[in-house]
A and B are shown apart, each in its own frame.
Chain A
Amino acid sequence: MAPNSPHQSNASAAPPNDLGAVIEQERLPAGREALPEPLVAHSQRERILNSMARSCAAKGYGATTIADVCEPAGVSRATFYELFKDKEDCFHAAMELALAEAMGRIVAVYSPDKPWAAMVRDAAATFLELLATRPGFARMALVEAPSSGQRAFELYASGKRVLQSLLERGRDDPVEEQAIPSSAGRAALSAAESLIVGQILAGNTARLGELLPDIVYITMVPYLGQEEALRQAREAERAVAPTDG
């Protein structure tokens, strides 16, 4: 009944500095970093998956019907049921594809040579940018998946564990063990997630990038202290300052 623990299987067997191994351990499909935007739908299957993501963004998973998915994709119901067992199966496949792409991009940010703070900032910026430009994915991954059945929840939880590993591992100084609780990273991610979901539900998905300084602050403060986390946040703020005006 209870979903998989979001924190007990903490990918602890993977060596530090090897996010790829963490992702593999979470059994996520390989990343597809090279996908153009929007996802090119070569196949009926991909058109259906895109259509599912768009419908989730427009009206939510609960209200989405098979017709909502089939019509914009230009496929028949019969084709839909050849490819997917049901709506949930289709949602799961869409979430899996999108998550694989997101994780691919996050991994591309990761490098053992990069300072921890720069890596966290770049990963957060990449993630926010991805969400802002793909509202379907944003809605699916952070609003619908956590509450749309066990399989989708597990995908969501595995994505979260990857981000948690990114935050907790690969510190330059293997945490000068300030006796902070082991849940500090998970708490910081929940804090960031809550802020992001609030903006998505308020219809501000396109402006998620503006949250970068706050997310930099909340994810770094347990590890670096207030002064340095604020400095990092100010630096991030300069990076996201409007350049189009």
Chain B
Amino acid sequence: MIARSQRERLLEAAVRVVAEKGYGAATVADLTREAGISRTTFYAMFDDKEACFLAAYDNVAEALMRRVAKAYEGEERWPDRARAGLAALLGALAEEPAIARLALVDVGAAGPAAQRRYRAALQRLTPLFEEGRDFAPGGRSLPANTSRMAIGAVAGLIADELAEGRAEYLPGLLSDLLFATLVPYIGPAAATREVGGNE
């Protein structure tokens, strides 16, 4: 039990340190100091800074996914589910700007393994987007990569905002993100109606 809580403290500390100093500048010493653990304890759990960061990253992604999925499943129609999921995502990211930047912007600087982790985290959204195929009248004839691209559009718009230090304005992106999500599945006219319909 003690080992488990030390691990959790360390993962939370890793997120804070990397968010504050950047991945490149953060050292194992920074992580152990912030977490209040010894170097020996650190190396008993992780091989290096990268392994620790990747575990911390997975934690953050997991927590975000849970919030998104919960909001998404609370609605019936796919466009409403998408809206609820996106709103939950934006809310969670706006609450913790440092974590948001880490999850969507700084992750690129942490090396190829981290970039693959980031993409894997995004791909966990695939089933939620793919429901758009069943909802859309011509869903089956859409390109196989439709969900990947729609997810990329959403992540890109959020990252642009975060890169400018505008985390607190993220909830204002909801309409744009909803349009970007819906348009490949149901086209611009229907997407515009859905975006406007519930405002």
Contact = CB atoms under 8 A, between A and B. Distances in A.
A190 B156 contact: yes
Interface string A189-223: 11111110110010000000001011001100111
Interface string B116-160: 100100100000000000000010011111101111111111011
Contacts of A243: none
Nearest to B196: A179
Given A194-B151, A195-B148, A222-B188, 5 more contacts: A181-B180, A187-B156, A188-B153, A192-B152, A194-B122
Contacts of B184: 191, 217-218, 221
Interface residues of B, number: 45
B152 A184 contact: no
Contacts of A201: 112, 115-116, 119
Contacts of B146: 214, 217-218
Contacts of B116: 201
Nearest to A8: B164
Contact of B179 (A1, A2, A181): A181
B163 interface: yes
A218 B149 contact: yes
B190 to A, nearest CB: 9
Contacts of B29: none
A189 B160 CA distance: 12
B152 A146 contact: no
A183 B148 contact: no
24 contacts: A2-B164, A6-B160, A7-B160, A143-B115, A178-B192, A183-B176, A186-B157, A187-B153, A189-B156, A190-B157, A191-B149, A191-B156, A191-B184, A194-B153, A194-B155, A211-B145, A213-B143, A217-B142, A218-B153, A222-B179, A222-B188, A223-B188, A225-B189, A230-B138
Given A2-B163, A226-B138, A214 B112 contact: no
Residue from A5, A195, A211, A226 whose CB has the most chain B CB atoms within 10 Å: A226
Nearest to B149: A191
Nearest to A196: B152
Contacts of B164: 2-3, 5, 8
Interface string A158-193: 000000000000000000001111011011111111
B165 interface: yes
Given A2-B163, A184-B179, A221-B184, A148 B109 contact: yes
B90 to A, nearest CB: 14
B163 A195 contact: no
B187 interface: yes
Nearest to B165: A2
B26 to A, nearest CB: 14
B183 A190 contact: no
A111 interface: no
Number of chain A interface residues as a range: 35 or more
A192 B184 CA distance: 12
A188 B146 CA distance: 11
Contacts of A183: 157, 176, 179-180
Contacts of B143: 213-214, 217-218, 233
A242 interface: no
B59 interface: no
Nearest to A215: B149
A36 interface: no
A190 B189 CA distance: 21
Residue from B151, B157, B188 whose CB has the most chain A CB atoms within 10 Å: B188
B198 to A, nearest CB: 15
Contacts of A6: 160, 163
Nearest to A178: B188
Nearest to B184: A221
Interface string B81-112: 00000000000000000000000001011011
A191 B188 contact: no
B112 A181 contact: no
A5 B145 CA distance: 28
